[in-house]
Every structure is written in structure tokens, then in C-alpha cells.
Amino acid sequence: MGKPVVVIGYSGHAFVVIDALLSMNLEVIGYCEITEKEYNPYDLRFLGNESDQNIQEEFREANFFVGIGDSKIRSEIFTNLQKSRMGFTQNVIHTSSVVSPTAKLGDGVLVASNATINPMSRIGDGSICNTGCIIEHESILGKFTHVGPGSVLCGNVSVGDHSFIGANSVVKENIKIGRHAIIGAGTVVINDVPDHATVVGNPQRQLKQ
């Protein structure tokens, strides 16, 4: 068994993270939040806010994972914790997922249940490969991206930092998606997507900014 884990955040997305950690037979020793949560489905100990001085000892004894869906908040907390050297980031890879041995994962990556990461793909720090998604061969995800449940990225797709691919989207092979882009749920992407764009539909159409 590996080192125990502290989870930052304790709501919907964090529950997915905790379930995956338990599938890996890792102990979750507690959670960090701004305030203690009334709803505590995993019966975890509330440790306080991750920036509190009194929990630094917990971080020395455990790895951490930022279980927050919002990429901006996730990246800020992740970066602050790494700079403070309070602990090491845990990769969370559900035991039902399939990750090619030739794929490369950064730090603090979630590969949720039944997700597939195929050969030579690269997944950036703090990224989410959500339930049942498929990242095909040689695809590249930037830092703090989120590929939603059931989405398919065909071969050689590139996704920029902080971009979001909505549930059940399909991205054609060799497509480049820019930074901070949003791909709406169920979108079929057949053309490149620029930075900060929002696209929806089948085939894709870009919404006006």
C-alpha cells in the first residue's frame, strides 16, 4: 500500500476522486475545505483549510490530491501546495481504467473509472480524464484540462491548458483545441478550435464571445 492521501475539496468531483483512491487500496486520511461539511458520505476527518499552518504535519505524512472540478481554483491550489513543498501530489488512476505503459501522465492527474488512455498520449499536470472517456493514441492534453464523461478524443488531438471537453463529445483526429476553450456536451469537433472559444453542436459551431 502506498502513502495515505489528503483530498482537497469535498463535494461531487472529490467523491469521484475518493472512490478511485479506494479502488487503488489507498487510505484517505481526511479532507481540506474552507469549512467543515455537514454531508460526509465517506466519514472522513475534516483537517481544515489546506493553507492553515496547523495541518502542515498531515501533509508531511501523506500525499495530496486536489479534487476540485473548477480548473482555475484547482490550478491555484495545486501550484501553491507545490511551491510550499508541503507534500507530494498523488496521481489517481481507478483500477477499472486502462492506461498504456507508453502514455505519460503529469502530476495530480485523475483517470476515472473505465477511462482509456492509449499509446503515446501525454496528459498534463492537474488534468481530469473523467468516467469512460477515451484519449486515443498520441493525443496531448495541456495542464488542468478536463475531458468529460464518455468523450472521445481520436488520434493526435491536442488540447490546450485549462480547456474543457463536455460529456459525450467527439473530437476528430489531428484536431488542435486552444487554451481555455469550452467544448459543449455532445459536440462533434471536426475543425480546430481557437483559444478561449466556445463551440457546440454537430457539427461544431462557435458561439459569439
pLDDT tens column, 93-143? 999 999 999 999 999 999 999 999 999 999 999 999 999 999 999 999 999
Amino acid (one-letter) located at 144: F
pLDDT of res. 52: 77
Domains (range + CATH), the chain:
5-90 (3.40.50.20), 91-198 (2.160.10.10)
**Considering the entire predicted model, what is its pTM?**
0.94
pLDDT of res. 94: 98
Whether 163 has a pLDDT exceeding 80, the answer reads yes
Overall residue count recorded for the chain in this entry: 209
The answer to whether residues 46 and 37 touch, using CB atoms and an 8 Å cutoff, is yes
| 132 vs 1 pLDDT, higher one | 132
Phi-psi region of 120 (alpha: psi -120 to 50; beta: other; left: phi over 0): left
Q: Is 30 helix (H, G, I), strand (E, B) or coil?
A: strand
Express as a percent the part of the chain with pLDDT over 90.
85
The answer to whether residues 184 and 169 touch, using CB atoms and an 8 Å cutoff, is yes
Cβ contacts of residue 9 below 8 Å, gap of 6+? 31, 32, 33, 66, 67, 68
pLDDT of res. 86: 63
List the 98-99 sheet strands across, edge first.
Answer: 98-99, 116-117, 134-135, 152-153, 170-171, 188-189
The answer to whether residues 13 and 69 touch, using CB atoms and an 8 Å cutoff, is yes
pLDDT tens column, 54-101? 777 667 778 899 999 999 999 999 998 887 766 678 999 999 999 999
Distance CA(114)–CA(152), nearest Å, equals: 13
Nearest to 181 by CA among 154, 150, 141, 125: 141
pLDDT of res. 209: 67
pLDDT of res. 85: 62
The answer to whether residues 207 and 189 touch, using CB atoms and an 8 Å cutoff, is no
What integer is the mean pLDDT of 145-154?
98
pLDDT of res. 168: 98
